[in-house]
Structure 1
């Protein structure tokens, strides 16, 4: 959230510790890794070969959570963008940090195709432009990961030498960024392909599944079994993060590829393993569960809410009466274009967005999700019952 919002303001861009907050990809990669780990824990049986509840129930449970979050956040982003007089056919080119970015204005057919792909949650497959709601590419990647999980998880968890498989997948994941860096491929299509393509990012999810297999069979005790080992692992995570920051800040563009796509995976895995060993106090367990459940919602809505926050901050800086702005909306927008909102309000945005994500998840997404699940699973049971009845009749 900080990565996507802090540096778009002049004050944020001038912060002296900017490089320490520039590894936004660390959080996304950790999230993909954790998704594979948690899904394997929830859905795979003791032998790692059977999907609990069956494939249909898995897809219903996953998609009824993913699509409502995506559609509502997309509608919010489009509404805020259009209200802010941003052209609907303007798309940002994918770039590395430090590269000169840019926009392209597309014709009606191309714009409609991108919007249709975004509605279907397929936007991560387009390498050239950022998604309409840029962070939503991660939801598109998750959709592909979910589609692979029923086939992928049993095969990965049945591998005997999981540690060897883990290292092999990690090295496989590192190959594309190393090759692109060696060839100096830094065009927008190359950046988009490496950063958001679901097939390229699939090894992170698969490594998370393998990591759970190792954890379940105590193959990771050497990392996190004792307090001393956990402390050593956290030190490794910290040193890896520092090395990644320095490589991105002072190295060539190629280091951005390598750090973003795979170099920090061992550190991310270590962090997950240490956290998996932590027993939460009862007083904090419910809060942490609520925050964890709202993670996808936070991914999806933080940028639309930042656009709202920025507009409100500009209006406050102008000192204009909100009622007057409602009556003279276009005039207020034009007057606020060159105004920079105060950074003093930024902490309020961070806290407010986390609270909004929890409320959004619990008050909107969960009731809608539960209704859809009940409806879809009831229809499935009805069809199965009808099929058995007709079979007996024959």
Structure 2
């Protein structure tokens, strides 16, 4: 299939912006008074959709019609790892700079939670603290369920790392399966087993949450589902959902209603539903969303802008946490009734005093716009040259770069 999939670039950008809002808006206490604020609580839907999208588009780009891996395993791994490691390391570096100018210590680590109430933290001694930092640097922190990632959004990059390592082995086999629809349903049902198990066990500890929500082995069904979904889409087996005047609107209504219902349940429903909604219950709606976006018509005049925004999705994901930490601290410091020079000379004292102030949401839209612009510039002027240099140094004959114009990049 040679069709460009610009609709997936639009989807990636929207998911990245939604996750940015999900991670930041509740830092403003007054956000709780906003109407429909509960619509910002479904970060799991966006992350799961992104994992499915990754499997979908990688199959589109790398799997030949006969099921062979285009370019070979080494070519694939170099290109994929050069896509996520630089962004991860730069994002972690920026977050480290934020820690240097803040009052938070380097040995304080947050614990995984279901998002209800304040997140707990623990202070580690030198050896386990250094080890946890090392895991975060290597993007292996998702294998230790006891602690959240230092740069909170980066856990999903750790999952992608594992997915990429599995892709050359699993994707050709899945793409060649005869009963792919049945396999997709089976993967979905298997995906539901772990969250249902911990619900029956009544396990809501940080370790249980970290395992269910962040463990790559338990999250890979979404990625595998994306591989199978593309095979069904490319072979025309999903025309029943896309053909006719009413089928697409019905599928879109299913996605919207699923999102609305899940958002409401996340905000007000019983605690046990959070596991299931985060892991598996929404997968049919997420699969439908990917197919609808893949089949969406984007005006030709908008292709370049949409592609630029979509390509910056991972950069938004990687740097928005550090940028927000700087922005929120800056807002609080402006409320401290001290001269600028005095605050500069006694920064720690001013920073400690600023903690008591509530930041105003008036500048929040500016933060969102600034982060998107910064991410696009970072992607094009910083990340792409680094990625290109890595690929040129590790791939002597890079005959088939994935960066083909018009194709969504993941």
Question: What is the TM-score of this pair, normalised by structure 1?
Answer: 0.93
Q: Does 1:120 align with 2:138?
A: yes
* 1:362 matches 2:380: yes
* RMSD after superposition: 1.7
Question: Residue 122 of structure 2: SS of its match in structure 1?
Answer: strand
Instruction: Measure the CA separation in 2 of the matches of 1:249 and 1:316.
Output: 32
From 19, 26, 31, give the equivalent of 1:7. 26
Deviation (angstroms), 1:147: 0.2
How much has 1:321 moved relative to structure 2? Answer: 5.6
Q: Match of 1:263, SS?
A: coil
Counterpart CA distance in 1 for 2:353 and 2:344 is: 14
Q: How far does the alpha carbon of each residue in 1:230-270 deviate from its partner, in whole angstroms, 9 at most, with x for none?
A: 11100011111122123323322110001110111111111
Partner Cα distance (1:79, 1:172) in 2: 42
Matched, 1:210 2:228: yes
1:287 corresponding residue in structure 2: 305
Q: Give the alignment partner of residue 139 of structure 1, picking from 157, 160, 180.
A: 157
| Number of positions where the alignment pairs a residue of Structure 1 with one of Structure 2 | 380
Structure having the larger proportion of residues in helix: 1
Secondary structure of the residue that 1:262 maps to in structure 2?
coil
| Separation in 2, partners of 1:4, 1:100 | 13
Aligned to 1:226: 244
C-alpha distance in structure 1 between counterparts of 2:341 and 2:274, whole Å: 47
3-state SS of paired residue (2:306): helix
Alignment gaps of 5+ in structure 2: 1-19, 400-410
User: Which of residues 151, 175, 178 in structure 2 aligns to 1:160?
Assistant: 178
Change (3 A) 1:355 1:32: same
Which residue among 294, 297, 313 is the counterpart of 1:276? 294
Aligned position for 1:33:
52
Look up the match of 1:313: 331
Structure 1 segments unaligned to the other structure (5+ residues): 382-394
Q: Distance in 1 between matches of 2:188 and 2:228?
A: 11
Is 1:235 the counterpart of 2:253? The answer is yes
- How far apart in 2 are the matches of 1:95 and 1:316? 32
Would the alpha carbon gap of residues 263 and 333 (structure 1) be closer, same or farther in structure 2, given more than 3 Å must change?
same
Deviations 1:257-292 (A, max 9, x none): 011101111111111111111121122111111111
CA gap 1:120/1:205 in 2 versus in 1, 3 angstroms: same
Once the two structures are TM-superposed, the CA of residue 315 in structure 1 deviates from its matched residue by: 2.4
> Would you say the 8 A contact 1:6–1:13 is kept in 2?
no
Distance 1:227 1:278, change over 3 A: farther
In the alignment, the residues of structure 1 paired with residue 286 and residue 89 of structure 2 have an alpha-carbon distance, to the nearest angstrom, of: 30
Match of 1:91 in 2: 109
Of 81, 87, 91, which residue of structure 1 is paired with 2:99? Answer: 81
Q: Are the equivalent residues in 2 in contact too, given 1:223–1:230 (CA < 8 A)?
A: yes
Comparing 310-319 and 287-296, the one that deviates more: 310-319
For 1:327 and 1:246, locate their aligned partners in 2 and report how far apart those are by CA, in whole Å.
47
Larger radius of gyration: 1
Q: Is the deviation greater in 222-231 or in 362-371?
A: 222-231
| 1:190 matched to 2:208 | yes
- Aligned with residue 18 of structure 1, among 24, 37, 47: 37
Q: Indicate if the aligned counterparts of 1:301 and 1:357 stay in contact, CA closer than 8 A.
A: yes
- Please say if 1:244 is aligned against 2:262: yes
Question: Is the aligned partner of 1:46 residue 2:89?
Answer: no
**What SS does structure 1 have at the residue aligned with 2:395?**
helix
Using a 3 Å threshold, how does the CA distance of structure 1 residues 272 and 380 change in structure 2: closer, same or farther? closer
Q: What is the deviation of 1:307?
A: 0.2
Q: CA offsets, 1:178-231, max 9 Å, x none?
A: 111121111110000011001100000000000000001011111123342111
Deviations 1:289-330 (A, max 9, x none): 111111111111111111011011112333666555434423
Shift of 1:173: 0.3
Displacement of 1:379 after TM fit? 8.8
2:191 corresponds in structure 1 to 173
Of 111, 115, 129, the residue aligned with 2:147 is: 129
- Runs (4 or more) in structure 1 with deviation over 6 Å come to none
SS of the residue corresponding to residue 91 of structure 1 reads: strand
2:86 maps to 1:68: yes
Task: Name 1:348's counterpart in structure 2.
Answer: 366
The residue number in structure 1 matching 2:408 is: none
Corresponding residue number in structure 1 for 2:273: 255
